[in-house]
Amino acid sequence: MAKKQTPKKSSKEKKSIKQHVEHHLSKKISVPIIAVVVILLLIIIRLPYTATETYTEKVEEEYEEQVPDLDNPKDVEVCDDVPSEYEILNHEFYGKPEGVSDYVCVGSFKVKNHESTEGKWTFDYVFTVNGKQFQVDEKEKKIPGFSQVTYTFESDVCKEGDDITGEYILLSSPTTIECEYVTQYDEITVTNTRTVDVQKEREVIKYESLWERLLGLNKKEKV
Number of Cβ within 10 Å of residue 127's Cβ equals: 25
In the sheet where 148-155 sits, what is the strand order? 86-98, 102-113, 148-155
Q: Which helix (H) or strand (E) holds 19?
A: helix 11-44
Q: What's 135's domain CATH number?
A: 2.60.40.10
What's the predicted TM-score (pTM) here? 0.51
Query: Residue 6: inside a domain, yes or no?
Result: no
Which residues span the domain enclosing 95? 85-173
pLDDT tier, 1 (very low <50, low <70, confident <90, very high otherwise): very low
Burial class from Cβ neighbours inside 10 Å (0-12, 13-18, 19+) for residue 36 reads exposed
Confidence of residue 146 (pLDDT cuts 50, 70, 90): very high
Domain presence at residue 63: no
Sequence-separated contacts (24+) of 93-98 with Cβ below 8 Å? 93/127, 93/164, 93/165, 93/166, 94/164, 95/158, 95/159, 95/160, 95/162, 95/164, 97/160, 98/156
Mean pLDDT value across the chain: 84
The pLDDT of residue 18: 52
- Tens digit of pLDDT for each residue in 99-111? 777 899 999 999 9
Measured CA distances, 64 to 61, 130, 193 (Å): 10, 69, 9
Q: What is the pLDDT of residue 7?
A: 52
Considering the domain boundaries, does residue 50 fall inside one?
Answer: no
Q: Is residue 152 part of a domain?
A: yes
- 205: DSSP letter: E
Q: Residue 172 and residue 123: Cα distance in Å, rounded?
A: 7
| Residue 126, domain member (yes or no) | yes
Residue 19 in any domain: the answer is no
Bridge partners for 188 per DSSP: 67
| Residue 47 Cα to chain centre, angstroms | 50
Residue 31's pLDDT band, with cuts at 50, 70 and 90, is low
What is the rounded distance in angstroms from the CA atom of residue 114 to the CA atom of residue 108?
A: 19
> How many CA atoms does the CB half-sphere of 140 hold within 13 Å?
6
Provide the number of structural domains found in the chain. Answer: 1
**Distances from the Cα of 147 to the Cα of 110, 143, 171, angstroms:** 10, 6, 20
Higher pLDDT, 9 or 171: 171
pLDDT digits (tens, 9 = 90+) for 51-66: 888 889 898 888 899 9
Residue 98, in any domain of the structure: yes
- Residue 218: what pLDDT? 76
Q: Can you name the residues that pair with 89 across neighbouring β-strands?
A: 110
Which of the pair, 51 or 6, is modelled with greater confidence?
51
In a domain, 33, yes or no: no
